[in-house]
C-alpha cells in the first residue's frame, strides 16, 4: 500500500511541475536541529530573529505537527541562463528574477496535497519557506541531494538550483528514500569564491557576513568592510552556488513563471537609483525583490554605484544625498566619495552642517 501510494504521489507531483520528489520521516532532521541550536547560540543568524522563534519546531518537525508520519519534499529547478556582468548594472540573485516562487510552489504543493487528501484519505499541511521547517536537511533525508560545503542543497541532477517545498501528511508512506552520499569530496570552490568570507568552516555559514543576508535581510547600515566586496550585487548573491562543479548537470529552468523579467536582468543602476517608493513597487511587483522595500534596495544600489568606478554615475549618487532615508543618504555619501573626491568635498561643506543623523554624519566625516 505504502509503495503504491508513494508512486501515485510522485507521479502527481511531477505532473504538477516539480522536477524532484522524495520521501522522508518527520524525525529525520534531529541531528540538523543540534547544528541549528549551535548556529543560533553563536549569533550567526544576525538579525534574523524569526530563526529563533519556534526553533524547537524547526529542529524537530514532529513537534511542529505530532500527527505527521511522512514528509514529501518537492524540488523545482530554477537553473538560470548565463547573464553578462557590467559594473553599471545591478545583479539580482537568480531565484528573484522572476515571479515570487513562494506562491508558485505553494499552489503546486496544494494540488498534490489535495490529491493526497481526496484520493488517499490523509490530512496534509504544505510549506514552502513559510513555517519553521528546515527544508535543506529534510530534502537531504528525502534523497533529493546533500547539503554541500556552502550549506545549500546540491543535486546530482540539478546542481545547486532547486527550490524546495514540503508536504507533511498523516499518511504512513513507509521507509524514506535512500539518502544521497555527500559528493563534495575535496572541492572547496564555494568556500573560496565567497567575496566576504562568510564560511568559517566547510558546512558552516555566518549569515552576518553573507551578501544575501546583508542585501536582503539586514535592515541597518551595511558595515564598511563588506561594501566593496558586495560589488554590484543589489539583491542576493549566487557566487557559491554558481561555482559548484555539480552544475555541469544542471539545466535552465523550464517553468515559464520562473523566467527572469526584463526589469531584473542587469538593470541599469542609474535607473534604480531614481526609484521612489511607488516606482519601486511597480517595477518589482510580484517578485521577491519587493520584500526588501525601497529604502534597503536603493541602499544596495548606492553601494553598487560606489563600486562601479564609473564617473557617469556620480550624479545618481549626488541626487540621493537628499533622500529621506538615512540608509540611502549614508550610502550615497560613501558612493560619492569613491567616485568623485572634488564633488564629495564640495557637497560635504554644504550638507554636513545641516545633517541630523549620526550615521550619515559619520559617513561625511570618515577619514
Which residues are annotated as catalytic? 129
Q: How far is CA 182 from CA 86, 205, 272, in A?
A: 35, 18, 41
Sign, CA torsion 138/141/144/149: positive
User: How is residue 132 written as a grid cell?
Assistant: 519553521
C-alpha 257: how far from its chain's center?
18
Whether the Cβ atoms of residue 158 and residue 251 lie closer than 8 Å to each other? yes
124 vs 145: CA distance, rounded Å? 24
Sign, CA torsion 2/4/7/9: negative
362-367 own/partner pairs: CB under 8 Å, 24+ apart: 363/330, 363/331, 363/333, 363/334, 364/333, 366/337
How buried is 312 (Cβ within 10 angstroms: 0-12 exposed, 13-18 middle, 19+ buried)? exposed
Task: Name the nearest CA neighbour of 235 among 266, 198, 203.
Answer: 266
How buried is 129 (Cβ within 10 angstroms: 0-12 exposed, 13-18 middle, 19+ buried)? middle
231 vs 105: CA distance, rounded Å? 31
Amino acid at each position: 500500500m505504502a509503495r503504491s501510494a508513494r508512486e501515485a504521489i510522485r507521479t502527481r507531483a511531477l505532473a504538477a511541475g516539480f522536477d524532484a520528489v522524495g520521501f522522508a520521516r518527520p524525525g529525520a532532521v534531529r541531528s540538523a536541529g543540534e547544528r541549528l541550536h549551535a548556529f543560533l547560540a553563536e549569533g550567526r543568524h544576525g538579525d534574523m530573529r524569526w530563526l529563533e522563534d519556534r526553533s524547537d519546531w524547526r529542529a524537530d518537525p514532529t513537534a511542529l505537527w505530532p500527527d505527521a508520519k511522512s514528509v514529501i519534499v518537492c524540488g523545482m529547478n530554477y537553473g538560470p541562463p548565463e547573464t553578462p556582468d557590467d559594473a553599471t548594472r545591478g545583479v539580482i540573485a537568480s531565484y528573484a528574477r522572476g515571479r515570487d516562487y513562494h506562491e508558485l510552489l505553494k499552489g503546486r504543493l496544494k494540488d498534490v496535497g489535495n490529491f493526497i487528501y481526496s484520493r488517499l484519505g490523509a490530512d496534509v499541511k504544505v510549506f514552502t519557506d513559510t513555517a519553521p521547517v528546515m527544508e535543506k536537511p529534510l530534502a537531504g533525508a528525502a534523497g533529493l541531494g546533500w547539503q554541500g560545503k556552502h550549506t545549500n542543497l546540491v543535486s546530482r541532477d540539478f546542481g545547486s538550483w532547486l527550490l524546495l517545498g514540503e508536504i507533511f501528511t498523516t499518511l504512513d508512506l513507509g521507509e524514506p528514500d535512500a539518502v544521497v552520499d555527500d559528493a563534495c569530496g575535496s572541492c572547496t570552490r564555494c568556500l573560496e569564491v565567497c567575496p566576504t568570507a562568510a564560511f568559517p568552516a566547510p558546512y558552516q555559514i555566518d549569515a552576518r557576513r553573507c551578501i544575501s543576508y546583508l542585501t536582503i535581510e539586514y535592515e541597518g547600515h551595511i558595515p564598511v568592510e563588506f561594501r566593496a566586496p558586495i560589488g554590484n550585487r543589489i539583491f542576493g548573491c549566487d557566487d557559491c552556488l554558481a561555482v559548484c562543479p555539480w552544475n555541469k548537470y544542471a539545466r535552465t529552468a523550464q517553468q515559464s513563471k520562473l523566467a527572469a523579467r526584463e526589469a531584473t536582468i542587469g538593470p541599469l543602476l542609474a535607473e534604480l537609483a531614481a526609484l521612489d517608493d511607488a516606482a519601486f513597487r511597480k517595477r518589482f511587483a510580484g517578485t521577491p525583490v519587493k520584500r526588501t522595500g525601497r529604502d534597503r534596495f536603493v541602499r544596495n544600489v548606492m553601494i553598487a554605484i560606489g563600486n562601479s568606478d564609473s564617473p557617469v554615475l556620480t550624479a545618481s549618487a549626488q541626487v540621493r544625498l537628499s533622500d529621506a532615508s538615512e540608509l540611502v543618504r549614508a550610502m550615497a555619501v560613501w558612493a560619492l566619495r569613491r567616485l568623485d573626491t572634488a564633488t564629495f568635498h564640495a557637497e560635504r561643506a554644504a550638507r554636513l552642517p545641516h545633517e541630523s543623523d549620526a550615521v550619515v554624519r559619520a559617513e561625511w566625516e570618515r577619514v
